[in-house]
Chains A and B, each alone.
Chain A
């Protein structure tokens, strides 16, 4: 009976030599060494042998199995190596062909800058507070210390509605009044908020001016808040926004709702303060208006101005986005041209 085994071995070896691919090898394995493979069957069939032949048959069958397994392993290795070599050689593609297109979405450039603001200010304890866009004249002006017909109102060209005393907010500052009244608990609690949102001015739409724009207002009220804190806080913000080397300076200015009032300039981050077209060769870029909250405003917000003090600031996300990315036309922001938006 061992003859059958020997011929099986011969046949299997021949077939193994003939297997030139992984597929052929797998077929060979199935045929000879698989669960129902002929070699395995042969090993199993030892029980059917006459007793006296069993030992020799079993021994030989097992030897053949082991030998074929080894041969298989060896063969498998060489086929894999050959196939790998072939794959590496023949698998060359044109790596300069473009990749498969992926649908990439993204956020509006103003949203990116707004989020920078949220992130930076939140590390200093300023939380986001939203206030309405259609306002009454009182909250937008009078309570912020712009009396009716006061020349300070000239600073903000207003869009009026057909309802008396209802206007589109010209700045986020009316949110200061609403914020103080809502969160201040009748002037007993400190406040640290930023107020982002859309504002409106009666302006011709040009490369430099827009009829709607975002503003981010900041308000910090406490019993122990000084102008030195305002300066330090804005300086921290500038470092976080424009890099650790960012320098700021403060110039006296006028806003009815703060006193002292100041404009904030940051050293031009495009030319390092050396002077370039963007900073108009001044080395500085105006980034914010700020000041100590005016006593009238504190009072209107429910606070005793003799015991409480605070600072406020306002910034334009579109302006800062324009400076950061060299955008020279503010009209891009609401034109919704995907060729612009897809760059962000």
Chain B
């Protein structure tokens, strides 16, 4: 909300610079997001930092209040006039101007009631009104169509007040200061129109402050100043309102109070300058005095009002006194609101109706049928209290945002209604004339109870850690308008009605402690180190192991990515090659009711989509990619509301094996064994033992080039070459190698208490064995035979060559192993090694039909 300092000062004395005030309000929770300077200079305050404002500062010697005495025609131009402007000391300047809002006065001779304007003398700096970009200019003597001209009357745009450049600033009444003393011509304009507007953002608990007076109340508490409320007296000279209107409230919980005041024989006209100016400053367009007053009261004290044309209501009632009913809608009921929309009403929308039908959406917006217009003679002014939760609900379901709804949905105490209706009807009377009916019609079935909280001072220390006397706490609360009585160490606090945020009981105590801290100042509260006992610390193995996996993968050259958890079923469907059973877990998706976009409509069930999509994006720049992601997938689970969120580990590598380099590197395309090498190293780093690999059949992978990883009968996941059709679906070229692991399974087989092997005491004997085996024989089978035959003495068998071709016959291959024997008991001899080797060959012949390669 925009809060003009000049308006704020009506209710509280502010002697500090606006910049410091902004700082103090912000510290107390009223965040001042921006200061808007109108003509006056910025003040630099020691110790505070804020951006330098680049607004136009009005030259107090040259930018003045001008009094237009006469508007004469320009002898050579129809679209220009000559304004005779008095600028003090009897000096009259002639300004040539094309301002259209002066044309109606052209040639009328000396004006019977002069106009007041903003005058800029030669040498003054103003904004260029004709430039689209902000551009400053200095006024210089320059004849206009043959008439000398050196000064000007200014538009709002030229002075930086707004973007308005359709006419010049014109005031029909002589402006005056806060005390009512008129400003003389030639007064520096900064004294008349200069201002600073604080743009304040309110958190939802600050309903009480969403008005100028509300901010003044907070300011008075923070600065410890006296608060001056606006006048609430009404001159009531008409007949009684009794019998002119009745109100039936059917839902007091939703509408605890409804008040009316009546103004007869009034005239609709423009509001006075001061009111128009204030409304403009807070961002409201002045319309006429009736509409303006409802807006003014909304901004002044935070009580929204609604003005009915009494005669229209009476006509609807067939000439009888209108009977207003507030109620919930009948099924299918609709309302044409002021914004021109015909709305189907929801069951919870509280309505303002008469016997003919719906007049408005309570607390949010009026209907068009009973509205005031320029011919209104009798105004029935409504101020009511509404349940804030229900108003907010109505705004949400009707998708309707209004200034009234904004305030009512945050909470306006019903006591405010009476103040609002009195202040409003009086301002309507003062501005439009007429007679106010005696008495206010007041239907108040459910006045809220006054909240009283008993606050032991020990609570202040318990929560804040600050020792405070009852007296000191009492003073702080009193500044905020609380009525406080100290009874020993307990404060009896009566909560003022505007503080709807203060609860009762233990919540009320906390609310008051916060209030005490806020006025005391958070920065005045000291820092301490926690003295309370330290809770027992527990080992979080799952978390630590997950982090260890991240480290291991990074050390292996993989880069961690983090994808959106959102995807679309169509995207994940691409993970299954055509004709294969779906690779996705069974069950429904966690589906979003309000997705931000169609491609983010569900939560993912697989971790691979993100990796594949990242690979596609990066393929544009990267010749090789090594990525991994750890994160949850989301699986709906029959019979439970909330889905399972198992964590997965995905890896993806693709592209060249090495970066190209000047000395030459192996830059062939990576294949299955590149990924397997990484995984083998990963498992080593994680100290997994008993890892076995078996062929996998998973619809995302090449059926011949993928494997399942098992540890002690537990499946960790699958890896291999992504099925060419799946890769193509993700627009990826070449072999893409990926892995998809169940993170919990991997974590469950990790072991930090692995045994370190002692160094051997004797030298090892190493021999090579090359076996010719059938093509379909696997490395695992050959290795198993070697281990079996080698027995205790065999320490390692490492495949180092696979050879096909002459002289190995077709359908066979030669597999060469480097076999190491060693025992700590003695140094093995070549002869012993040869014996084992023979055993290996024999067993291979018998079990695999292998032959020793000659």
Contact = CB atoms under 8 A, between A and B. Distances in A.
Nearest to A158: B594
Given A198-B565, A211-B596, A130 B543 contact: yes
Contacts of A306: 506
Contacts of A225: 530, 532
Contact of A151 (B31, B410, B642): B410
Contact of B204 (A152, A296, A341): A152
B591 A161 contact: yes
Interface string B503-529: 000110111011001100011011111
A86 interface: no
A155 interface: yes
Interface in A111-160: 111, 115, 124-125, 127-128, 130, 132-136, 147-152, 154-155, 159-160
Interface stretch (A22-30, A33-41, A70-78, A254-262): A254-262
B522 A251 contact: yes
Given A155-B204, A250-B522, A281-B51, A108 B560 contact: yes
Interface in A82-112: 97-98, 100-108, 110-111
Contacts of B638: none
A103 B463 contact: no
B645 interface: yes
B50 interface: yes
A186 B3 CA distance: 48
Contact of A105 (B540, B559, B645): B559
B550 to A, nearest CB: 6
B506 A151 contact: no
Nearest to B658: A101
Nearest to A267: B49
Interface string A271-314: 00111000011111000000010111000000001100100000
Contacts of B563: 334, 336
B518 to A, nearest CB: 5
A171 interface: no
A235 interface: yes
What's the interface size class on A, roughly? Answer: 35 or more
A328 interface: no
B557 interface: yes
B603 interface: yes
A223 B517 CA distance: 20
Nearest to B615: A336
Interface stretch (B265-273, B388-396, B795-803): B388-396
Contacts of A98: 661-662
B43 interface: no
Nearest to B516: A260
A205 interface: yes
Given A151-B388, A151-B392, A337 B618 contact: yes
B663 interface: yes
A4 interface: no
Contact of A111 (B540, B560, B641, B662): B560
Interface string B638-681: 00011101000000000000110111010000000000000000
B742 to A, nearest CB: 17
A127 B663 CA distance: 49
Interface in B246-280: none
B170 to A, nearest CB: 37
Given A252-B27, A254-B29, A161 B592 contact: yes
A92 B642 CA distance: 68
A309 B543 contact: no
A227 B533 contact: no
Given A229-B528, A235-B527, A252-B28, A189 B535 contact: yes
Counting chain A CB atoms within 10 Å of each CB, the highest count among B29, B51, B522 belongs to B522
B49 A294 contact: no
A151 B593 CA distance: 21
A162 interface: yes
Given A106-B554, A232-B529, A134 B506 contact: no
A97 B525 CA distance: 60
A319 interface: no
Given A166-B641, A338-B618, A125 B535 contact: yes
B665 A132 contact: no
Contact of B565 (A133, A162, A338): A133
B774 to A, nearest CB: 37
B600 A211 contact: yes
B621 interface: yes
A333 B661 CA distance: 30
Contact of B462 (A97, A226, A236, A281): A226
Contacts of B537: 125, 127
Contact of A295 (B510, B534, B540): B510
A48 interface: no
B389 A105 contact: no
Interface string B361-389: 00000000000000000000000000011
B203 interface: yes
Contacts of A166: 590, 641-642
B151 interface: no
A261 B638 CA distance: 40
A321 B389 CA distance: 38
Given A204-B596, A254-B204, A232 B49 contact: no
B506 A252 contact: no
Given A134-B642, A294-B510, A127 B596 contact: no
Given A190-B532, A229-B465, A104 B507 contact: no
A290 to B, nearest CB: 11
A107 B58 CA distance: 55
Given A135-B642, A232-B527, A305-B506, A222 B532 contact: yes
A127 B592 contact: no
Given A294-B510, A334-B562, A251 B465 contact: no
Interface of B: 26-29, 31, 49-52, 203-206, 388-390, 392-393, 396, 409-411, 461-466, 506-507, 509-511, 513-514, 517-518, 522-523, 525-538, 540, 543, 547, 550, 553-566, 590-596, 600, 603, 610, 613-614, 617-618, 621-622, 625-627, 631-632, 634, 641-643, 645, 658-659, 661-663, 665
21 contacts: A105-B557, A106-B560, A132-B642, A132-B645, A134-B645, A149-B392, A150-B204, A151-B392, A159-B596, A190-B532, A198-B631, A226-B463, A229-B465, A229-B528, A231-B526, A249-B523, A260-B513, A281-B52, A295-B507, A295-B510, A336-B613
Given A128-B540, A128-B543, A228-B527, 14 more contacts: A101-B661, A101-B665, A107-B560, A125-B535, A151-B411, A162-B593, A166-B590, A198-B565, A200-B565, A222-B530, A226-B461, A228-B464, A228-B466, A309-B462
In order of increasing CB-CB distance, the 10 nearest A-B pairs are A226-B465, A228-B465, A103-B557, A252-B29, A254-B203, A222-B532, A232-B527, A283-B49, A336-B614, A281-B51
